[in-house]
Structure formats: C-alpha cells, structure tokens
Amino acid sequence: MNNVCKYKFLVIDDIDLMEIHNLERKVNQAVKHPEPVVRLDAPWDQLKSDTFNYINVVYDHEEQLFKMWYVVTGIRPGEKWERGRKTAYATSTDGINWEKPILNLVEVNGSKKNNYIFPEMLSLNYNIIIDPSDIPARRYKMIFDVESREDRWAGYHVPLCLAYSHDGIRWERPKHVNPVLRGVSDDLWGLIYDRDRRKYLLFTRRVPNIPRDLSLYESYDLIDWEDKGRVLVPDENDPPEMFNLHGMAPFFYEDFCLAMLGTMNFLPGAEVYSSNNRPPEDWPFKEIGAVDIQLSYSRDGREWSRPTDRSPIVSSGKDGELDRFIIPSRNGPIVLNGETWIYYSAHKNRHTAWSQEEVLSNESSDAREIAFCMLAKMPEDHWVSLNAGESEGFFVCKPWGPPLGIFVNADAEGGSIQVELITPYGEPIPNFTREECIPITANGKDQEVKWKSGRLPIEFSLDYQGGILAKFYLKNAKLYSYTFTLPDPDGQLERDQQNARWSDLITHRSDVPGKASTEPADGRPPVWKNQTKLYNNVAKQPRLNNPSWESGFLTIEDGEHGKNED
C-alpha cells in the first residue's frame, strides 16, 4: 500500500456503521508474557521488607528506548499496607530485558550505588509523561502528590504538584506554583497530552473517593486546572461488587482516546471491612480484592463510554498465581509496529490487608517475592471485534469513496468474510456483488478484499460519486477493523487526515453585531447521533423497503444491544 492514504475504522462503537445484524461485539484479551520482566533482584535489593509496586512505562522514540519508573515500598509483617516509598529507574532496548543503571543519586542502606531517583517518603504518587509540546529542558513532566504524617495530623487531602526534567532522572519542582491543584484523589493519576486541543488531560478520583469514580481536569500549562466533572462511574452493567473504578490510564489510538480501566471488587457498602477481614468460606462472591483491567473509550477525551461486554483486556490471576492483583502502568500501553504492549504491576496477594498477610506468611515474610512487573501483548486493533458464529451476520458501513482498495484485520480461519458494494439505495454494484467476492478465510491484518473481475472500486468513482456502502458478511469469523485506501502521490491526503481531528475541533466564530468575535456561531450542524436517528426512520419507510436491508439502519439483532440506539 505504497503512495496511498489509509483510512482505518475500528469497530469499538457504531459511529461508522449504518447497520449491524446478528453480530456480537466482544472485547478481546491480551496475551500475558509467561514471566515477570522486572523484579527486585538487583544487588542493592537486600531488604526482605521491600516490595515492587506502581509503575510508569514509556517508550522514548528519539532514543528508541523503553523507560520505567517503579515504586519500592516497605512492608513489615503485622503492619497493614506499607511503610514508605522510594522510586527506582530502569531501561530496556527490547521491552523484555531491563537494566537498572547505577545512578549514585540517593543513599539507601548506606550506599548510593543503586538505581533510585527519589528517597523514601511516607507516600509519593506520580504520573510521568514525555511531553511533545515543550522544550528539551522540560521534556519530561510529572504530576505528583506527597503525604506525610503531618498531613495526616492536619487532616487535609493531598494536593497535586508539578515537576519537570530533561532526562527523567533529575527533577525540578517549581516552588512558586506548587501545589497546582487541591482536594483531588490520593492515587493513580492518568495524564495525557492532547496534541489537537493542546491541552493536558488529567483523570483521577474525586474526593471523597469511596465509592471511587473518575473525573477529568484540563489545563493548558499544568498550573491552572479546570474541573470538567465526573466522566466515568460504575453502571447497571457492572456487578454490585464492582463499584470502585481504581484508576484510568489514557492513550490515543487511531481515532479514539482509549483507556486501561482498573475495576476493583469489594463488599458493597463495606469496602474497608472487606479489605481488613477475610470473607467466610461460603461467601458467594469469591473475587473480593481482585482488580481487572477493562477498556473504556472516547472520541474526544471528554465523553467516555465502556463496552457493554465488560470482559477484561487483562484479567487478574487466581489464588496462588503471580498476578492475583494487578494495576496497569499509569501511562497506558505502548504501541510499536502495530502491536500493543500493556505493562502492569502484579501482586500475589489481593488488594486487601488479610490477603497480604497470608501471602507474606507463605513467602517467609520476604516481600520481594510477592510483586513484580509483568507484560501482556495484543495484536494490532484487537481491542474489540464483531463476531459471527455458525449463523451468518453482517454490517454495513456509512457511505464512503469509492475507495482504491478495502482491507480487513480479521480472523476468518474456519470461516469466511465477504464484502459486497451497494449504493445508498441498497442496490448491488455490478462486478462487486457478494457472489463475485473472493472469500477471506485467513487470520491477520491487511487482508485485501478482492472480486473475481480483478477490478478496483475506484474505477467506478465517476458513476458513484457521493459514496458507496460496503456490506461485510461474516460467518465463523471475527473482524477487528477495516481499512479503505485512496491514491496519495503527493501526501496531501495523509496531511489532511493528520489534521482532521484538529480541524474538527476548530469552532466557527460569529460576526453577528452584538456578539463577541470569539463567541461560537449559532447553528452548528447536528452530530452523527442525531443523523443516525434520521437515517433509521427513513430506512423504515415503504418506498425504501429492500430485502437486502432486512431490519433497518443501526439495528442490532441477537448482538450487543438488541434495540435501536438514539
């Protein structure tokens, strides 16, 4: 696909689709790497009371290097949770084998020959990003909070602070602006820079934070923050025990802002009690203290949704396994060459005091052996798929093109995928009918859809100006994404595509007398959701009845929703 512009469509939501019939939308799991990739095994990791904890992992494209900041906490038998946190730094060229450089910055156990960048504190929580918007001297940004015994005595909640660094190791903390935000959560920040809106987005828990949900704060400079309110709360699709959203790690992926969402299970209405007291053996719910990593998604970074299928992207393990309790990296996954790498801290114990005591006892009180950094991988675009079983299903995309070529990322082994091109009136286009389509029966990305004539849809662009619709038929198959291409010899289409979201965010301004020049103009066009409702009503009129459409636009039968969506 050289000298072409690719337009990829993920099937996470319905926004690009006109109709779905007899397909099930499913969330897919990443594949876990069999062994931990980082553990406390350096020569200076000598204290049996130390344990591995929260991680930040980024990929530095300039240096072509994986970088990790991880927390080491002190745990003593008989004490709940931890006594102090210090921060260490590691790097890797392949993401699997990690080096812990001797930095000579922080004295621990009488020596500076270690990889620590921050000394032990009662509590230090942070999120680190590589900032593409700033100069090299401030290339790394960190938002953090610190807690002390004096804070606890004073009875105020942790404030948010700012630091910056040129190398991610030596940090500056501007005294004249810190703290930059008060009264937010105590843990698990999710920070991302939106290039198109030129804003920092911070996702964190609001206080009081039990039960826990997620709120959004926005800033142009990391100093002045605007509270945008709650963006994600548990809903009726969650079991009663899952009423805590533990944290959220956002990242941009194709046309979406996605997030790894920590979903925590406790006894409803008695979280603290169930954290400190093991349930009876006959208690029906067995997952108290477990956390899964689920998917959430947004088109603009502000309005967030979760799939109806709440299957985890990465699931917590079972009792006795290394990852009984998991927390994703606070930076979101790393995407390299299409493949997605999801780092997470893994703990043998559940997220409860009673489980921690039990696991420590089994490990002879050696806390170094109860937590690690682990990795799970996901192939390109495998977040969500439209699945068909033995009973065939189909979906129809919105008008487009006609394109030069059509490609799918799908698993059709043991089944088939065929594509038919039709007009907006539902009429099959000659040479591109389903009967003439060569079935796709393999598993993989960039599988080209071909017809027996060997002709390309773009050859008929003059006959079908205004777009054609592609109707995808699936049987015993899973489709993750589909891609349309157009010729792009000078790269103009690719530049337009890169600017598409930014252009969409630019608001037209009013020149009406009596209005400020910066005030948005009236009469903005309706959003796709309203247009979909219009299409749905029109499609049901008798004059457009067509057997090929069966149930009307955006109707999902025997699939995820079961009814039309407004």
Separation of alpha carbons 462 and 485, rounded Å: 17
Q: Report the alpha-carbon distance of residue 90 to residue 124 in Å, rounded.
A: 18
End-to-end C-alpha distance for the chain, whole angstroms: 37
Question: DSSP letters along 512-546, please?
Answer: -TTS-TTSBPS-PPPPHHHHHHHHHHHHTSGGG--
In this structure, the chain runs to a length of: 566
CB burial of residue 320 (10 Å; 0-12, 13-18, 19+): exposed
- At 334, the pLDDT band (50, 70, 90 cuts) reads very high
Q: Tokens 């070529």 — which residue?
A: 405
Position 552 pLDDT exceeds 60: no
287 touches 352 (CB < 8 A): no
The pLDDT score that the predictor gives to residue 522 is 61
Residue 558 has pLDDT above 70, yes or no: no
Spans of all domains in the chain: 4-25+385-544, 31-381
pLDDT at 182: 82
560 has pLDDT over 60: no
Least confident of 15-24, 29-38, 455-464: 455-464
Helix (H, G, I), strand (E, B) or coil at 494: helix
HEC readout, 101-159 = CCCCCCCECCECCCCEEEEEECEEEEEEEECCCCCHHHCEEEEEEEECHHHHHHCCCCC
Name the DSSP letter for residue 202: E
Return the amino acid letter for 302: R
pLDDT band of residue 523 (cuts 50, 70, 90) is low
User: What integer pLDDT is reported at residue 408 of this predicted model?
Assistant: 98
> Tokens in use for 359?
């696991």
Q: Is residue 559 over pLDDT 90? A: no
| Secondary structure of residue 361 in the 3-state scheme | helix
Q: Homologous superfamily of 31-381 in CATH?
A: Glycosyl hydrolase domain; family 43 (2.115.10.20)
Is residue 81 pLDDT above 90, yes or no? no
Q: In what order do the strands lie in the sheet with 65-74?
A: 50-60, 65-74, 85-92, 116-121
pLDDT digits (tens, 9 = 90+) for 225-275: 999 999 999 888 999 888 888 889 999 999 999 999 999 999 988 888 999
- CA-wise closest residue to 358 among 278, 280, 279: 278
Most trustworthy range by pLDDT among 121-135, 150-164, 345-359, 379-393 = 379-393
Arithmetic mean of pLDDT over the chain: 87
For residue 470, give Cα distances in angstroms to 345, 401, 424, 479: 43, 10, 10, 14
